[in-house]
A = this chain, B = another copy of it.
Amino acid sequence: MVQIPNPPAPASTAPTCSVPAGAVPAQPVPARPLPGAVPTSADVARLAGVSRATVSYVLNNADAVRISEPTRRRVREAARELGYVPHAAARSLRAGHSRMVLMPAPAFPVGPVYSQFINDLQVALGRLDYTVVQYGTVGVHDDEAARAWAELRPVAVLVPGSGLGPRGVAVLKRSGARAVVTLGPETVEGAHALLMDHDVVGHGAGAHLFDRGRRRIGVVVPREPGLEAFSAPRLAGVRAALHGTDATVTELPLAHDEGAATRLAARWRALGLDAVFTYNDEYAMLLMRALQDAGVRVPEETAVVGADNLMLGRLLRPRLTTVHLEVPSGTELAELVDRAVRDPAAAPESHKVLGASVIQRESG
């Protein structure tokens, strides 16, 4: 979409919209379009024997204009027969706006929580008659990405994470986006924000462990790229919860593979920790397995707390204590978007929407 430097090959054999010269010499206004050509509203009009205006009225159920029932039928019939589908680009070009809400597609595997959230959001926005489109932006960053999105002239843009700066927001707004909403750890100048600072997760875990008497607390930080946006705040949250106490926080980088976990577990006793917050339940499972294989007793020697409240945590033995994430409902976000679209001049709202509650089980 960004550029069209390489138009598709001329496609000599392919069906094309242009009339082969001289092929239809005596039919200046054929009743129906050439087979293979994409039918337009003009084609429908011709077939129905009415004007394009009438076609538009009928197909859009325009109530401002009264069209006779027989005409309506003829138009609908013609549209059906031709397989006519309106051209969204032409329509929104003419209208001067679209109902497209654009989100960048996540570049990393997302868990069930996020998937569910996206889904709810799509449903809720769909109910408000918006269309949600996830735009595949891979390896494109910041302003460049914002420009690419802006080319589509979405009415609203939702950006998870922290990939968008004030300049990007400005680009989008200049291009007609009536609402830019970030879902991330911090507010961005000019954009609405659903503050999803994951520090609450770490904070919950840290406070819980402290309350349970733990003082030397490790925090697993995934080595996987793309996860810093979540892992850094979670770590910071633990730090914040323990600030001013006698507890210590030890950062534990860990790749999501068995070998790494085994190596970490091997030097566990040397680390002298009595608790660990593992970023999420998957890393918890990984580490807990390694710890148990290394003979470290959970929770006696080391308490383990995960996050995200995945099903698998309940299946582990000991059952995994976890931090449950309270994500805003898709409906709420959809309403925020709709409000913002209707009144783009309003001051950006900023809501802290992430809740966290500890679900205590057996591991800590």
Contact = CB atoms under 8 A, between A and B. Distances in A.
A17 B171 contact: no
A341 B116 CA distance: 34
Contacts of A125: 136
A282 B178 CA distance: 42
A88 B153 contact: yes
B315 A60 contact: no
Contacts of A315: 258, 285-286, 289
Which of A2, A7, A17, A315: most chain B Cβ within 10 A?
Answer: A315
Interface stretch (A107-115, A180-188, A210-218, A232-240): A107-115
Interface string A124-145: 0110010111111011000000
Contacts of A89: 88-90, 92-93, 98, 152-153
Given A83-B174, A282-B312, A311-B257, A152 B88 contact: yes
A87 to B, nearest CB: 6
Interface of A: prevailing SS: loop
Interface stretch (A8-16, A66-74, A347-355): A8-16
Given A122-B136, A178-B14, A9 B314 contact: no
Contact of A7 (B13, B97, B170, B311): B97
Given A88-B151, A258-B314, A345 B15 contact: yes
A115 B122 contact: no
A297 interface: no
Given A1-B131, A344-B15, A345-B14, A108 B115 contact: yes
Contact of A155 (B5, B8, B111, B112): B8
A203 B127 CA distance: 42
A126 B135 CA distance: 12
Contact of A136 (B111, B112, B132, B139): B132
Given A83-B171, A88-B153, 10 more contacts: A1-B92, A3-B60, A14-B178, A85-B151, A89-B89, A89-B153, A109-B112, A119-B138, A122-B138, A126-B138
Interface of A: 1-9, 11, 13-15, 17, 38-39, 60-61, 83, 85-93, 95-100, 105, 107-112, 115-116, 118-119, 122-123, 125-126, 129, 131-136, 138-139, 147-148, 150-153, 155, 170-171, 174-176, 178, 256-258, 282, 285-286, 289, 311-312, 314-315, 341-345
